[in-house]
């Protein structure tokens, strides 16, 4: 049976409209969900060399950490594409996209994959927990997320600091990390590869010591209530 011409035109127009609609970040195939709980979700984004994404939207409060630098060309919907120089491992990006979603398309124009780890807010703590003696002056923050970056040459430790809020520890580079707990007989030693992460809750006082031979970049991202 042949469709009337009017219906055929409407069907083709609807199909073209559907193709033009951006995907959600959850539908974009280069994003992989690695952790989700009542407070946040962690996604790994990997764009192979010479590959591209369709248009997709980010609509959560997000902080991302570059774990595999590459040369990207990014086009925000309605704007021209912009080529970005390779951001170093440990570079931070993000914002609050809950009221103004970021709709974009990306091309990896280099010969190596681009990798990033995204921490996205889905809930907030039930109480505004103070942070006595904790890390100060975030390197990047949104209303409910705060990121602290530690650049640790071989043999160097971060200052001792206290977390009373839940947080994610991210290895932006591979590292042999010693988590030194004041008063403890032995540190916690862990070997991390670029893009590894750990989720922590409860109070923790520690310093981070680079026990490897190369410089390490470690990022801690806390979940908190809106600042007063």
CA distance 85 to 66: 13
Percent of the chain with pLDDT over 90: 75
Q: What average pLDDT does the segment 183-193 reach?
A: 93
CA distance 94 to 102: 10
Most confident of 20-29, 63-72, 79-88: 63-72
The predicted pLDDT at position 183 comes to 85
Q: What average pLDDT does the segment 27-54 reach?
A: 97
The per-residue pLDDT for range 127-155, each reduced to its tens digit, is 666 665 556 789 999 999 999 999 999 99
pLDDT at 2 over 90: no
Spatial contact of 66 and 29, defined as CB atoms under 8 Å apart: no
Distances (CA, A) of 197 to 37, 113, 148, 159, 200: 15, 19, 14, 20, 10
Task: Write down the mean pLDDT value for the chain.
Answer: 88
CA distance 39 to 165: 11
């Amino acid at each position: 049976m042949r469709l009337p011409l009017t219906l055929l035109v409407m069907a083709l127009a609807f199909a073209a409209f559907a193709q033009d609609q951006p995907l959600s970040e959850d539908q974009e195939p280069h994003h992989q969900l690695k952790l989700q709980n009542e407070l946040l979700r962690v996604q790994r984004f990997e764009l192979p060399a010479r590959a591209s994404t369709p248009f997709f939207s980010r609509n959560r409060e997000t902080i991302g950490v570059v774990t595999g630098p590459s040369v990207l060309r990014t086009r925000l919907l309605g704007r021209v594409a912009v080529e970005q120089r390779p951001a170093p491992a440990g570079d931070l990006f993000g914002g609050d996209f809950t009221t103004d979603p970021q709709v974009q398309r990306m091309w990896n124009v280099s010969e190596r994959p681009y990798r990033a780890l995204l921490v996205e807010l889905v809930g907030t703590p039930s109480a505004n927990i103070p942070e006595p003696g904790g890390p100060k002056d975030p390197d990047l923050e949104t209303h409910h997320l705060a990121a602290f970056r530690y650049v640790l040459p071989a043999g160097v430790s971060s200052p001792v600091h206290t977390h009373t809020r839940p947080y994610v520890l991210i290895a932006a580079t591979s590292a042999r990390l010693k988590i030194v707990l004041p008063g403890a007989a032995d540190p916690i030693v862990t070997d991390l590869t670029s893009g590894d992460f750990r989720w922590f809750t409860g109070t923790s006082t520690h310093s981070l010591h680079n026990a490897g031979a190369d410089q390490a970049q470690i990022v801690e991202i806390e979940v908190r209530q809106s600042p007063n």
